[in-house]
Amino acid sequence: MTDIKTSRFGLLLIGDELLNGRKQDAHLPAMIPRFAERGLELSWTKTIGDDPDLITRTLVQTLGSGDVVFSFGGIGATPDDLTRQCAAAAFGLPIALHPEAEAEIRGQLGERLNDHHLRMGEFPAGSDIIPNPINRIPGFSVRNHHFVPGFPKMAWPMVEWVLDHDYAHLQAPGREVSQTLLLTDTSEGPLIPLMEILLKEYPDLRLACLPDAGGEQEVELTLRGAPGRVVQGMDRLRELLAALQTGH
C-alpha cells in the first residue's frame, strides 16, 4: 500500500503537438479539480515530445522517484505512438499482447479488427488494464505508472477509475483546505519577515505569496493545510499584519 506521507502524483504529457503549438494541453486543468475533490494534489507535470529515447529516459527517472505517474498519450496504433514500447524498455519488461486487452479490442471492433488494432493491446508483461468507457480500447498500469490515451473524453474517466480503484485508501476529501488574503497598497518585500515568522510557527502549513504582476500594489497570501491549522494560521497572520501596520 502506498504511504500517504510519501506519495506524490505527477502527470506526464506526451506529444509533439503539445510542444509545437498545434494543441493546447487540457489535461492539467482538468486533473487539478479531480484530484482536489478526492483530497489529493499534484506535485508536478512534465511535457515531452514523441521522442522514444526521451520518453524512456523520463520513465526510468519517474520509476526511480517512487511517484505515482499518470501518462497521457502515445498508446494508439500509429507509428508515432511509442509509449507502450518505451514503458517496457524503461521497466526492463518484454512487451506482449495482453489477453484482457485483446478481448476488449475484439469485442469493440468485431469484423473490423486488424493487426494494427491489436497493437493497442500490447503492454509490458504483468500490466493491468485500465478500462476505457468510451470505446473499450484499454490503457494499462504497470507498477505505480498508469498510461491512458491523449483524448480527454477517454483519458479523464480512466484516470478517475484508477484513483478510485487503486488509491481509494489515500483519498480524504477535505483533508486540506486553503484560505487567501488579498492585501492592497503593499508589495511582497515588507511582508517577508512576517512570512518567515509564520512559517516558523506553523511549519505544517504551506504558504504561497503571489504579488500582482500588472503593476498594482497587491499581494495574495495563501495558507494551505489541515482545516483547523489553516484557521489558526490565518488568525496569526492577521495579528502579524496588524503589528506591521502599527509598527509594533
The string of pLDDT tens digits covering residues 176-195 is: 778 888 888 888 888 999 99
- Looking at residue 150, what is its pLDDT? 94
Mean pLDDT of 151-176: 91
127 residue type, one letter? S
In this prediction, residues 89-118 reach a mean pLDDT of 93
Which element (helix H / strand E) includes 230? helix 227-246
For 104-125, the pLDDT digits (tens) are 999 999 989 988 899 999 999 9
Cβ(237)–Cβ(198) under 8 Å?
yes
pLDDT, position 5: 43
Angle, alpha carbons 119-165-157 (nearest 5°)? 60
| Average of per-residue pLDDT across 156-172 | 93
Residue with cell 486487452: 101
- Confidence label for 35 from pLDDT (cuts 50, 70 and 90): very high
Domains assigned to the chain: 9-170 (3.40.980.10), 177-246 (3.30.1370.10)
Phi/psi for 143 (5° steps) reads 55, -130
Position 95 confidence tier, pLDDT thresholds 50, 70, 90 = very high
AA identity, residue 174? G
The reported pLDDT for the residue numbered 228 is 83
Hey, which residues does 242 pair with through a beta bridge?
A: none
pLDDT at res. 3? 45
HSE (side-chain half, CA atoms, 13 Å) at 241: 16
Query: Which pLDDT belongs to residue 36?
Result: 86
- Kindly state the percentage of the chain with pLDDT values over 90: 67
pLDDT > 70: percent of the chain: 95
pLDDT at 248: 59
Helix, strand, coil shares of the chain as percentages rounded to 5? Answer: 45, 25, 35
Average pLDDT value for residue range 56-72: 96
Q: What's the whole-number mean pLDDT along residues 203-231?
A: 85
For the chain, state the CA radius of gyration. Answer: 23
pLDDT at 175 over 80: no
pLDDT at 216 over 80: no
| Mean of per-residue pLDDT scores for the chain | 90
